[in-house]
Structure 1
């Protein structure tokens, strides 16, 4: 019975970790595109150049941080598995 509780707790913990990674990724992408749009409005460029440049830079940054975070989470899971 206690194993089922531990498994459920571990599953929820993993779900929380991975969902936080996704929300972090979406936040970085959203802020970068929003910031690019605001800069386009401020400088009155007449086009969406800054939206694209800053937005795509934010996309690359979010992919990099997501991959690094997933690498760390994977290493933690492997270490936990070795300890058990």
Structure 2
């Protein structure tokens, strides 16, 4: 297996695995941010007497914008 290789190629495998883990973490971070903002919007809509889920829509879009900003900032730092 490539994970247990010894020699000159080992550093490249560790580097690619490290990048994979980093970018996977960014994806989970995006999901968490969007989920938290959507949940907050949902709870606000439950407590208010709106016919349409306005706060859910607005806060989910805010969550998308914040998560994109966070990912772009992290990728540019890399």
Could you say which TM-score interval applies, normalised by the shorter chain? Answer: 0.7 to 0.9
Unaligned runs of 5+ in 1: 74-84
Other-structure match for 1:17: 22
**TM-score, normalised by the number of residues in structure 1:** 0.79
Q: CA deviation at 1:44?
A: 3.1
Unaligned runs of 5+ in 2: 1-5
Where do 4+ consecutive residues of structure 1 move more than 3 Å? none
Whole-angstrom distance in 1 between the partners of 2:53 and 2:21: 36
Tell whether 2:42 aligns with 1:37: yes
The 5 A counterparts of 1:49-64 are 49-64=54-69
CA RMSD of aligned residues (A): 1.1
Other-structure match for 1:28: 33
Higher helix share: 1
How many residues are aligned here? 73
Q: CA deviation at 1:46?
A: 2.5
**TM-score, normalised by the number of residues in structure 2:** 0.85
